[in-house]
Chain A
């Protein structure tokens, strides 16, 4: 059987509605926590005065003045929201690192049921959290060094190169495009490497972070352009979706309660865009990773030992049920079915 292409795998990953919902819920909860300090201020300023009415009707004269007065009079609440936003963002980063373990564990893998998938997801999240945290530290270090060096050096050179050049001169424009294109390429390449390092746990349990990066580096040979293309595709798609939904929410008039409800629904949709794009990107990246992994090491999830905590009644049988790919298919890939179930693939540690 032919393995799906990277983009197809990404689109297939979009069917993981619960996963997208989980990530979106995190965003919503953390966003709501960030904005919580504003709630009493907004109730005081908008709910019990005409200012809210002016704002929601977008009164051309009164609304801007009252909005500015809100910013000034409720500056303490705004400062509180800003602080909680930063902490929520950091918490969110940790959650993303945590969920990456579950994603790597389950996305694009054969499973028996939703229940098993869910259990495997949480187990994977827990199991790989330490690994992913180390990978993140390495990625941040590498990205900081590489981007810092690149932007620092080009900044230094551009000062001397364009000392006498007027702003917006052709040379400056080309140079700026070049600098930022290379910076994006560096970031994209490192992101791909980072994702591969995390995905290394998919088939090789216990692999360390540095070994994961090494392994990812090796496996990316010949795949970098495809990988970058896939990341670019999902990034552009996400940006386009964000712009469309944001514009719709921004432009929508809200003269009534139901209209406000619709507006809030649009905001929820807006927050779902990034999780959906990230899950899709993960699907594509993992498909690339799987394709580069020797088939001998690729073991369907359902054929591996299931973590004890999800199997209270005992181990799930090493089933050769419907979800397990038939031997003939494995033979198509040049591997023997026997090899595929040999413990060359990593047993899932519990």
Chain B
């Protein structure tokens, strides 16, 4: 998309906002850039014994800028697994998300470029050099700079011929082999992104080609891929894109895959796969009530939300056949939800890979039109059948087709834009499909929803980093995870509650539509939201996304005491009455119904926001006679004291009683329960305390009895 188109959208957005109208969510959807920036044509051959892929790559790169570009930069991702001195290994210590890298000779991985020439046949490999663009480990070999004999002219192009050899590592950090299972990702020499001036707020054009870091994922330009994979005939193959041919030659078969408008290509080969192929049919698979809800939130006609059929190819491990339903359910929910709320899935195919349990390091990963899930056999059986990890991971990885696949954000520098936005959409779709306990549901009605899980994880963190940071700049891998996933899920939920579901849905769809097949930044995200909603979101941006602000409204104290009786001089019924302390009906006066003062209760509740994010909250006071008092607590207030005189005692007081503040760090201090009565009769705190203490004691005793069985 050109800068001119962007300006037009800005003007249109301003007009809509000024008119007080919500921008029609589906308007002006972006189309892919043609011709694409890159074209890859690769012929690859897998040797399953040595786990080596040898390949020939023909690469065409079109200069998207007005600069004369005299150097190309390539990612050589597999060199992250070459030795223990790579940036990746130094940062990760050889473990990622609980998965450990092998240390035997056959476990290492590497990519070697055997030859690199331009169309004229000039050798470009000789003058090339490994660089460390992030000031990272000097021994790191994951980025190759290739000086060109003559610069690529503005809007010009260059074609290269590359011979390469990729030794796959034992499964680690998304890629590799275990036994005959091969998941081949980040496996070929891949160009970085040349960002022209203006793109992602860049001042001058330059390559964006980072080293492969432990916490970072990837960033590449959109292009067309035409890849032929030669494997032993007994191997089942799945890959990015659509298969256009398969040719048997002796004991080997060549499969050709083609896909346009994507920015990566991954594939898998394993003789054990059980293939389950089916068609996602919107007319059958999309719940009509979802369509109606999406149409209502987006302000669009249901007919404008029509989705397309998709061929889904599920590659299952033979011992995971019981998980087929879970994978299908995850894919169905994902294709429906993302399609309805953001836009129809534009590709014809989706390949879902089920990794073996000793290859789960390659699970839970996204590539264009190709995702890896993950399951273990017990999840298909009682009592874990409704622990929806399989659905969840399928749904999440599919969601990356939108936030990463189509909205091509820079995962090195702004991981929250793909992981976080996708996590929010994942939470919403899980909740829509499976209800409040969408994440895990155990027998006996116990379970947890995605948002509750996110709250638990995020609140337990040290809050050392803001959401936005270079992936390798977080304090730890855990901080990267919490900030890129859970905190963004909570931030987006807060934003949705504050803006309203309609304004939020329209803004997010507008952002997606505007930036499909482009590379947006954090600024572009807020720009899209502000234009769509007409709201100033700077405090969200500066304090939550760029800062570490925390919100914690709480009920500091609550008292409800009998108000002292009146005493002194009062003018009542046209006469002056003297009421003495301890003689509330007047000296020498008879007690009568008329002058009897009603019992009054003096209720004082102190609310405070002990966090550092100024944001308002609702407050609720419920009295024993059932009366409810609702108040709004101002965003700027550090504390608020509410004093109410009433004829009934306070039963309980709560801040944010409907949990609208998803960003609130602690829910346990949100209420105080004082009394009993009609209002309070609904609370069973005492019984709860007894019950859970009893359960704690019983579980402790059961554990002890287990030990006693040995005595």
- Bind each other: yes
Give the B-binding residues of A (Cβ under 8 A). 27-28, 30-32, 34-35, 38-39, 42-43, 45-53, 55-58, 60-62, 64-66, 68-73, 81, 85, 88-89, 92-93, 96-97, 100, 136, 140, 143, 164, 166-169, 247, 250-251, 254-257, 260, 263-264, 267, 270-271, 274, 278
B residues 661-711 near A (Cβ < 8 Å) are: 666-673, 682-705, 707-711
* Most B Cβ at <10 Å: residue of A39, A50, A97: A50
- 9 tightest A-B CB contacts, nearest first: A31-B701, A52-B688, A60-B436, A68-B456, A34-B700, A168-B319, A52-B685, A35-B697, A35-B696
Of residues 515 through 568 on chain B, the ones whose CB sits less than 8 Å from some CB of chain A are none
Sample of 10 A–B contacts (CB below 8 Å): A30-B704, A51-B668, A53-B683, A55-B692, A61-B452, A65-B456, A68-B456, A69-B668, A89-B704, A256-B684
Q: Say yes or no: A96-B711 contact (C-beta < 8 A), given A45-B668, A257-B687, A271-B701.
A: yes
**Do residues B319 and A166 form an inter-chain contact, with CB atoms below 8 A?**
yes
User: Measured between C-beta atoms, what is the minimum distance from B182 to chain A in Å?
Assistant: 14
- Given the interface contacts A58-B445, A70-B668, A255-B684, does A93 sit within 8 Å of B707 by beta carbon? yes
DSSP majority for the A interface?
helix
Docked pose: A52 CA to B700 CA in angstroms: 21
Given A49-B671, A50-B671, A166-B358, are A56 and B691 neighbors across the interface (CB < 8 Å)? yes
Query: Is A42 a contact of B693 with CB atoms below 8 Å?
Result: yes
The CA of A42 and the CA of B708, in the complex, are separated in Å by: 28
Contacts of A257 in B (CB 8 A): 684, 686-687
Contact assessment for B690 and A260 in the assembled complex, using a CB-CB cutoff below 8 Å: yes
Please indicate which of the listed interface residues B452, B683, B685 has the most CB atoms of chain A within 10 Å of its own CB: B685
Give B695's nearest chain A residue, CB to CB. Answer: A267
Instruction: Identify the interface centre among B657, B683, B700: most chain A CB within 10 Å of its CB.
Output: B700
**Cβ contacts under 8 Å, A136 to chain B:** 711
| CB-contact partner of A166 in B272, B666, B669, B708, under 8 A | B272
List, in ascending order, chain A residues with CB within 8 A of B121's CB.
Answer: none
Closest chain A CB from B593 CB (angstroms): 38
Total contacting residues, chain B, CB less than 8 A: 66
A35 touches B685 (CB 8 A): no
Tell me whether A35 and B179 are in contact (CB under 8 A): no
Q: Determine the chain B residues whose CB is within 8 A of the CB of A256 once the complex forms.
A: 684, 687
With both chains docked as a complex, state the minimum distance between the C-beta of B191 and any C-beta of chain A, in angstroms.
Answer: 37
| Residues B698 and A271 in contact, CB atoms below 8 Å apart | yes
Query: Which of chain A's residues have a CB closer than 8 A to the CB of B358?
Result: 166-167
Complex formed: what's the CA distance from A53 to B703 in Å? Answer: 27
A53-B685, A267-B695, A271-B698 known; A27-B704 Cβ under 8 A: yes
Q: Which residues of B pack against A, CB within 8 Å?
A: 179, 272, 317, 319, 356-358, 377, 435-437, 443-449, 451-453, 455-456, 459-460, 652, 654, 657, 659, 666-673, 682-705, 707-711
**Cα–Cα distance between A210 and B456 once the two chains are bound (Å):** 54
> Which B residue sits closest to A133, measured CB to CB?
B711
Inside 8 A of B668's CB, which chain A residues have their CB?
45, 49, 51, 66, 69-70, 73
Q: Is the CB of B684 within 8 A of A28?
A: no
| B356 contact set on A, CB distance < 8 A | 166-167
B residues less than 8 Å from A140 (CB atoms):
710
Known: A167-B358, A274-B705. A62 touches B689 (CB 8 A): no
Contact between B452 and A64, CB atoms less than 8 A apart: yes
User: A255 to B709, alpha carbons, bound, how many Å?
Assistant: 35
Nearest-neighbour CB distance to chain A for B140, whole angstroms, equals 32
Give the CA-CA distance A53 to B709 in the complex, in Å: 37
Contact A46/B704 with A58-B446, A167-B357 known, Cβ cut-off 8 Å: no
Complex CA distance for A100 and B709, rounded to whole angstroms: 12
Known interface pairs A69-B667, A251-B443, A257-B684; A81-B700 also in contact (CB < 8 Å): yes
Q: Is the CB of B659 within 8 A of A61?
A: yes
B272 touches A32 (CB 8 A): no
Return A327 CB to nearest CB of chain B, in Å.
40
CA distance A125 to B319 in the complex (A): 53
Q: Which chain A positions have C-beta within 8 A of B686?
A: 47, 52, 257
Contacts A28-B701, A68-B455, A270-B698 hold; do A49 and B673 have CB atoms under 8 A apart? yes
CB-contact partner of A50 in B444, B452, B673, B704, under 8 A:
B673
